[in-house]
Structure 1
Amino acid sequence: MTTAMVALHDLRMEYTAGRGRVTALDGVTVGLPAGTFTAVMGPSGSGKSTLLHCAAGLDRPSSGEVVLDGVRLSELDETGLTILRRERVGFVFQAFNLISSLTAAQNVALPARLAGRRVAPEEVAAALGRVGLADRSGHRPVELSGGEQQRVAIARALLTGPSVLFADEPTGALDATTSRQVLALLRGLVDERRQTIVMVTHDPVAAVADEILLLTDGRLVDRLTATSAESIAARMAAVEATC
């Protein structure tokens, strides 16, 4: 666990719901090596997004430990968590969250500038170049396709050189062809730049990942490697049939 870029140890998350308690994560322990692509899958309500939010320092678990790039998140106060997320973590979501009045380049630079960091134009250009949009830097979101807008969001997440890129359903708003293109881009970031990626998805084309973590009722029930989209779909169907 100590050599993992992201390490979760006996992670539990419980919520109050009415007069009862809901267990979203139930003792998850797993280590994710640096430079790998991990997909987190499972039925609705299985704890996928909760796991990602805890691993990224967005939420604090009820118990257990998260270690991200050698840092124990339980030892950080809220300011420390904010700094860690700003400097070591990148986020990509289903919603592109781009500002319509800003160009692609301005959208990429915006979070860093809001954090008080000066961003050189060359840094922004390099980030857009990494996602294949070097020639679209001056375009506004309305002038970009859905896939291109998600690429801008990925470039924005990569600007600070994060240790880990967390993606929550990044292809959920895209058609099948564009989804494959975005996943191929993420795969390339791992293969060519040794970027560590943790992605929550429901799409079996996540077979491009190095490993798939399968959750059910907040528990890690399987770890799949070197598998096909068809095998993933079959395994998911089997799991859902037992829920």
Structure 2
Amino acid sequence: MTATDTAPRQGTSAAPPVRLRDVTKRYGTGERAVTALDHLSLDFAPGTMTAVMGPSGSGKSTLLHCAAGIDRPSSGEVLIDGTDLSGLDENALTVLRRERVGFVFQAFNLVSALTAAQNVELPLRLAGARPAADEVHAALAAVGLADRHRHRPGELSGGQQQRVAIARAMIARPAVLFADEPTGALDSTASRVVLRLVRDLVDSRGQTVVMVTHDPAAAACADRVLLLADGRLADELPGGAGAGAIAARTAALEVGP
């Protein structure tokens, strides 16, 4: 698979692939209301990898879900490739997610009855397309699993299943790849393989990646690290900060000022 084959499709806007403008997300009403995101504004530049960290309940997963169009904010704007998601009905939003957004989950979310190749091509088939066999083969080759195309998830290791999930997320060449704890269910060796793969998607193919993680070593692979607390941006660390510095700053947020 060449860089051209896997490069994200160019959008029609010069804006960053993902923008959040004054985004607030509340759950519940009245005294029981919980604010998960509190007037958050962020840009995610093309061809960069951003890690999102923070204490439990800081809003990490809510940020990811709102930014990916899986959940709608209570107020504010989310734009993907220059398109304001608030202006889309559910059908249009589904199409945009399918065509412009890739998502990788901690639990892989592969269909156990399908082979690796069938799992990879599933998003295109759901969209009514008939992917060419060489396209699917190239997607699996890009994650080092060309020889496992006929294996079902139960015949693959956890790390291999996650790589199939990444190939599935990438086959439509999304504008942005969201990853929710992509190494959370993996051992250290498999985690390193998956992180190297994600980093290569950014460096070699210009993919934009936004990753939620609790692992400072995973976050250290990113170009920047966003630290959330109480639904707000508490701090931002540049790439190269190192796992130790990231862990120390995250721990400080856990105990407060």
The aligned residue for residue 216 of structure 1 is 229
What per-residue deviation string (whole Å, max 9, x for no partner) do you get for residues 67-91 of structure 1? 1111111111111110100100011
CA distance in 1, matches of 2:229, 2:120: 36
What residue in structure 2 maps to residue 82 of structure 1? 94
**Structure-to-structure mapping, 1:40-119, within 5 angstroms:** 40-119=52-131
Distance 1:150 1:17, change over 3 A: farther
Q: 1:38 and 2:60 equivalent?
A: no
| TM-score, with structure 1 as normaliser | 0.96
Unaligned runs of 5+ in 1: none
Corresponding residue for residue 7 of structure 2: none
The answer as to 2:217 corresponding to 1:238 is no
Unaligned runs of 5+ in 2: 1-13
User: Could you tell me which residue of structure 2 aligns to residue 193 of structure 1?
Assistant: 205
Shift in alpha-carbon separation, 1:201–1:129, aligned structure 2, 3 A: same
* Among candidates 240, 243, 246, match of residue 229 of structure 1: 243
- After alignment, is 61-70 or 17-26 more displaced? 17-26
Aligned to 1:160: 172
| Cα RMSD after superposing both structures | 1.5
CA distance in 1, matches of 2:189, 2:248: 21
The equivalent residue for 1:145 is 157
SS of 1:231's equivalent in the other structure is helix
Q: When the two structures are aligned, how many residues end up with a matched partner?
A: 243
Bigger mean CA offset, 8-17 vs 46-55: 8-17
Give the drift of 1:62: 0.5
Percentage of identical aligned residues:
67
In structure 2, distance between residues paired with 1:17 and 1:235: 33
The secondary structure found in structure 2 opposite 1:197 is: strand
C-alpha distance after superposition, 1:10-50 (max 9, x if no partner)? 11000106851100000111111001001111001100010
What secondary structure is seen at the aligned counterpart in 2 of 1:208? coil
Q: What corresponds to 2:187 in structure 1?
A: 175
Q: Which moved more, 1:123-132 or 1:49-58?
A: 123-132
TM-score by length of 2: 0.91
C-alpha distance 154-116 of structure 1, shift in aligned 2 (>3 A):
same
Tell me the alpha carbon deviations over residues 143-178 of structure 1, each in whole angstroms, 9 at most, x when there is no partner. 211100000000000111111011111111111221
Report SS of the residue matched to 1:230: helix
- Find runs of 4+ consecutive structure 1 residues off by over 2 angstroms: none
1:111 positional shift: 2.4
